[in-house]
Structure 1
Amino acid sequence: MDASTIRAQSRHLVRELGMLDHQCGDLDLTPVQAHALIELEQGPLTVNQMAERLKVDKSNASRTNASLLNAGYVETKADPEDRRKQLSSLTASGQQTLNQLNQGLNQHVSHFLEQLDSDEVAQLENSLRRYTKAISASRQQNDFTLRLLTPQDNAAMAAVVRRVSAEHGLTPDKGYGVSDPTLDCLSDVYGASNTAFWVVEKDHRILGGGGIAALEGEQGVCELQKMYFLPELRGKGFARRIAATALKFARQQGYSACYLETTADLNAAIALYESLGFDHIPHAMGNTGHDACEVRMLKAL
């Protein structure tokens, strides 16, 4: 599915849910007012915090907050940590209105879900969660550049591998990727047409990267390799983005499966690979030379 198809489906969903209407559900609330009440149920918020939660500008959040104040759904008081700021919170009337809204909309969605089997509901939930996370990650990646490795990046990427390996105790003498003799000339390794390596750059600094290449000793199988990221890059979704980019590339190159090796100490990495559909396998594949990597995973393409 391409971007145009996703946009078309999203437009259809927005219309079917009535989100272009002036009110949300059967109550006299605009969609942004309803979302504000939902966020305020979690606790008091300043206007700036509300704007951040709703992903709207401050003036929109301010107008929404004022309208809820006038309706008696919200009350304000000085922030005890900074009395120059006002905290908004739900009134009893606001909570009652929100309860009515949730009840009505939950009934609507329950009717929609009756059209789906249990496995389809689970798939829908997972897909919506993943899509939402992808949107959030994309926003966090705006100031960074993802591009293919060049010979000028060799030294910087090798330094990233060594620094991250040292951070996790993955020393060269234990047979991890940091011991590879080709570490300082990665552009040579990933120069073939069926290989690729991507780096993340910001302000002319290489902050991480990862690649994919044929798995030596296994016909038609590729390997996800050298996924290393400096601390300032973590939590922004680049590991998943590079892995997803690599898997798409692998399919285009005709690979039938993708293999990887890692260590049990890298819990976040393992969770990522599992979420991408990699399965744990009990034995090593190919000739990677990384005998210290006790976690082996495989994904059919």
Structure 2
Amino acid sequence: MTEDNKPSNQQGSTLRTVSRHIVRQLGMLNSACGDLPLSPVQAHALIEVSQGAISIKKLAQILNIDKSNASRAISHLVEKRFAHTKSNPRDSRSLLAHLTPQGRKLLQKLDHQQNIIFNEILSQLSCSETQQIETAMTLYNKAIQRSRMQQEYTLRVMTPEDNAPMAAVIRTVSAEYGLTSDKGYAVADPTLDSLSEQYQASDACYWVIEKEGEILGGGGIAPLSINTAVMNTLDQPAAKQERVSELQKMYFSQALRGKGFAKRLAYLALDFAREQGFHSCYLETTADLNEAVKLYESIGFKHLDSHLGDTGHDACEMPMLLKL
């Protein structure tokens, strides 16, 4: 997947190094799991089979390996009598792997071995440190899952050719949520059919997400025409000197939702705003877009009592601000 204007991230390099060392120190590169007759792949296969009958195809998907590798793992378990296979009643062309009593005993030994290893590791940490790691690893795991779901998509800067399809996405999504063009919503903007022209300045940008040439969503950021009178009422020093950006027109078709793109695009836009020297990011939304509101709150946007700029979106009753 490609992505324009994404800043280099030293933390990413550090995380790669840490991940590599963890894999090594946990013995995931060894041919066997400790003193058990299992390779790491076979051990993972054994765990999944213990959850219930499973096909080779499903196992490959869960373990994120190719079908031939999954098939070899099951064949090994069958040869050692840790598992057996039966015809799939729903698909005569495939087999379902089942755990045997010997396999369950081996799984108990595997659990005991891993418990000893992880108890030794956790004994080096306080309870709060363990909780921090669990939270961080959960986030890391979710990020990996979202990254996999996004593999066939492209996130890039908008071009004039994207104007019509992106406008169509905005109109379709707006209609889905009852945001009509006769009110102060983005769908009523006179520039909706020429979006790319509105983001030509060096401190503005709009990105689109496509799959196989089809535009499925997008979002942008640009300077906010600031209302200094309102800004002066906020608890912000030197409000008149602050540069405020605005997160704009984040719309995603149904086919794109649930894959983590909203948060990814928001982070990309916020990183861009920081690079351009903005001190905060503003947005206006509506309670009708409940998923969007939750997203902005999770990122750190705070609700404001009044609007900051003259955006023309008077029907968007929920102004929010994030300090960068």
Same fold (TM over 0.5): yes
User: 1:100-145 CA distances to partner (integer Å, 9 max, x unpaired)?
Assistant: 3223323432433344444543443333233333333333333322
How far 1:273 moved relative to its partner?
Answer: 2.9
Q: Structure 1, residues 161-210: CA drift from partner, whole Å, max 9, x if none? A: 11110011111233221122222221222111111100112333222100
Deviations 1:253-281 (A, max 9, x none): 12222232323333333333344x32442
Aligned to 2:36: 27
Does the CA-based 8 Å contact 2:302-2:322 persist in structure 1? no
Residue identity matched to 2:117: H
Q: Which residue of 2 aligns with 1:174?
A: 183
Higher relative contact order (CA 8 A, sep 6+): 2
What SS class does the counterpart of residue 270 from structure 1 fall into? helix
Aligned to 2:247: 224
Question: 2:300 maps to what in 1?
Answer: 278
Shift of 1:8: 1.8
Change (3 A) 1:250 1:121: farther
What are the superposed Cα offsets for residues 62-103 of structure 1, whole Å, 9 maximum, x if unpaired?
A: 111011112222122221212332111222332232233223
- Cα 1:109–1:83 change in 2 (3 A) is same
Count of aligned pairs: 300
**Residue matched to 2:168:** 159
Q: 2:290 aligns with which of 267, 270, 279?
A: 267
Question: How far, CA to CA, are the matches of 2:112 and 2:11 in structure 1?
Answer: 35
In the superposition, relative to structure 1, how do residues 46 and 178 fare at CA in structure 2: closer, same or farther (>3 Å)?
Answer: same
| Greater displacement, 60-69 / 40-49 | 40-49
- Structure 1 residue aligned with 2:121: 112
The residue that corresponds to 1:200 in the other structure is 209
RMSD: 2.2
1:264 and 1:92 map into 2 onto residues whose CA distance is 55
TM-score normalized by the length of structure 1: 0.89
2:78–2:84 Cα contact (<8 Å) kept: yes
User: Which residue number corresponds to residue 290 of structure 1?
Assistant: 313
Displacement of 1:25 after TM fit?
4.3
Instruction: Give, in angstroms, the shift of residue 42 of structure 1.
Output: 2.4
Out of 226, 238, 241, the position equivalent to 2:264 is 241
Instruction: Give runs of ≥4 in structure 1 deviating > 4 Å.
Output: none
1:97-136 aligned at under 5 Å gives the runs 97-136=106-145
Which residue of 1 is the match for residue 195 of structure 2?
A: 186
Name the CA shift for 1:111/1:265 in 2 (closer, same or farther; >3 Å). Answer: farther
- Give 1:283's aligned amino acid: D
Q: Which residue of 2 aligns with 1:149?
A: 158
Give 2:235's aligned residue: none
Residue pair 2:304, 2:321 contacting (<8 A) in 1 also = no
Q: 1:183 to 1:40 in 2, by over 3 A?
A: same
Equivalent residue, structure 1, for 2:86: 77
Alpha carbons of structure 1 residues 271 and 37: separation in structure 2 relative to 1, 3 Å: farther
Structure 2 letter corresponding to 1:156: P
The reply to whether residue 55 of structure 1 matches residue 64 of structure 2 is yes
Does structure 2 conserve the Cα–Cα contact (< 8 Å) formed by 1:25 and 1:105?
Answer: no
8 Å contact from structure 1 (residues 26, 104) kept in 2 = no
Aligned partners of 1:32 and 1:64 also within 8 Å: yes
